[in-house]
Amino acid sequence: MKRHVMILNCVVFVCFTLAFTGCSDNTAASTPADKSLARRTLRGSFDLYYTIQTDPSTTSGTGSIPKKVSAMHFYENYIVIEGAESGGRLFPVDMIKEFRWK
């Protein structure tokens, strides 16, 4: 019984060590995991209108009321928008049906 407890303690120690090793970075990542930089970033005050295809027969978007955004980051496969009220949102390029701003 004592041996089983010792083995269990060793396994728990190894699991915690591996888990905390992955948490050693003190900064939160704000760029994609692949470390790619935005090809283009626009900052300012924009009225954004968009429509995305959520599934084969359904779309979603802003309609006639724009979303207020402060920045747009254009990547190869997606667009990230930043807004004061919602923080941010990611749009995969292959889901976008309409995307325009003023």
**Residue spans per domain, the chain:** 40-101
Rg (CA), the chain: 22
What confidence category does residue 3 fall into, taking pLDDT thresholds of 50, 70 and 90?
confident
Mind listing the pLDDT tens digit for each residue in 4-38? 777 777 666 666 666 656 554 444 445 555 556 77
pLDDT of residue 78: 94
Nearest to residue 93, comparing CAs of 44, 82, 80, 101? 80
Could you write out the three-class secondary structure of 16-62? HHHHHHCCCCCCCCCCCCCCCCCCEEEEEEEEEEEEEEEECCEEEEC
How many other C-beta atoms are found inside a 10 Å radius of the C-beta of residue 48? Answer: 19
